[in-house]
């Protein structure tokens, strides 16, 4: 659970400002479709990580 929390916190602290346009001045802007794809990938990674956790 701690690994998933760390992954989600790290991912969101990077992805949310990027999606909000923090790097727009450098010409980097995420499209809504790419943002949805990245969010889906984050969910899949967390689910896979949870599957590999030892009980």
- Token digits of residue 23: 């790097």
CB 23 within 8 A of CB 29: yes
Please tell me which residue, 27 or 4, carries the higher pLDDT value: 27
Q: What is the pLDDT of residues 24-50, one digit of tens each?
A: 899 888 888 888 888 888 888 888 888
All structural domains of the chain with their residue ranges: 2-52
Tell me how far the alpha carbon of residue 35 is from its chain's centroid: 9
pTM metric for this prediction: 0.59
């Amino acid at each position: 659970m701690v690994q998933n929390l760390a992954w989600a916190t790290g991912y969101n602290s990077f992805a949310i400002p990027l999606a909000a346009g923090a790097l727009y001045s450098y010409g980097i802007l995420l499209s809504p479709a790419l943002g949805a794809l990245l969010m889906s990938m984050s969910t899949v990674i967390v689910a896979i990580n949870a599957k590999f956790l030892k009980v």
